[in-house]
């Protein structure tokens, strides 16, 4: 598999794992990390990476922009997963540079999960984030090879299979 990393990701995760053949830098329409398998299949799933301070900023003053990204992911029928470089306990303790409380961030994350199917994943550090993404995409790859992955075998909710997920131009304020 090839891990696709968004070109705007400033400090990309490393993927030194057995089944990762390569990593590519592409401008993704949503999220920061996607995968392409040997057969060319790109499942409609993207990980949006956030560090602790970034999640407070994203769900605070940048919330409207982030909601637009969620809506774009829905339009493209891409499942967005927020992967956070902090434990839930750490987020609950708050962030000194934010007026938002930790519990308000957790509640927003849970609301996004319930209302928009944007699942939050908490990881203690960037190594754990890379491992989580690798294992997630490896599982889809294994299921796809066995013909059991709903992502590869079933049409998307929109009925479209070929979804343009990689931008050729920069991300706009759609």
pLDDT given for residue 144 in this prediction: 76
Select from 85, 83, 84, 81 the least CA-distant residue to 125. Answer: 85
- Which residues does 43 contact at the CB level (< 8 Å), separation at least 6? 34, 35, 137, 140, 144, 149, 151, 152
Select from 93, 105, 3 the least CA-distant residue to 50. Answer: 105
**pLDDT tens-digit readout, 13-46:** 999 998 999 999 999 999 999 999 988 889 999 9
Structural domain spans, the chain:
2-153
Instruction: Please say whether the structural domain 2-153 has been given the CATH code 3.40.50.10130.
Output: yes
pLDDT given for residue 149 in this prediction: 53
- Residue 121 reports pLDDT greater than 90: yes
- Residue 122 reports pLDDT greater than 90: yes
Select from 115, 113, 134, 114 the least CA-distant residue to 123. Answer: 134
Over residues 153-165, the mean pLDDT reads: 41
Whose tokens are 């989580």? That residue is 132
**pLDDT tens-digit readout, 74-97:** 999 999 999 999 999 999 999 999
Query: In which band, very low, low, confident or very high, does the pLDDT at 156 lie, cut at 50, 70 and 90?
Result: very low
d(CA 154, CA 99): 44
């Amino acid at each position: 598999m090839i891990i696709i990393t968004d070109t705007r990701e400033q400090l990309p995760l490393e993927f030194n794992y057995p089944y990762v053949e390569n990593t590519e830098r592409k401008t993704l329409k949503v999220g920061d990390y996607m995968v392409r398998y040997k057969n060319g299949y790109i499942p409609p799933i993207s990980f949006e990476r956030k560090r602790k301070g970034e999640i407070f900023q994203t769900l605070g003053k940048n919330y409207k922009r982030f909601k637009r990204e969620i809506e774009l992911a829905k339009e493209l029928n891409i499942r967005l997963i927020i992967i956070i470089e902090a434990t839930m306990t750490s987020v609950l303790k708050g962030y000194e540079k934010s007026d938002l409380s930790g519990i308000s961030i957790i509640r927003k994350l849970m609301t996004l999960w319930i209302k928009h199917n944007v699942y939050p994943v908490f990881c203690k550090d960037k190594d754990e984030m890379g491992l989580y993404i690798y294992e997630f995409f490896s599982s889809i790859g294994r299921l796809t090879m066995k013909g059991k992955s709903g992502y590869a075998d079933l049409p998307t909710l929109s009925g479209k299979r070929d979804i343009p997920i990689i931008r050729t131009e920069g991300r706009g304020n759609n």
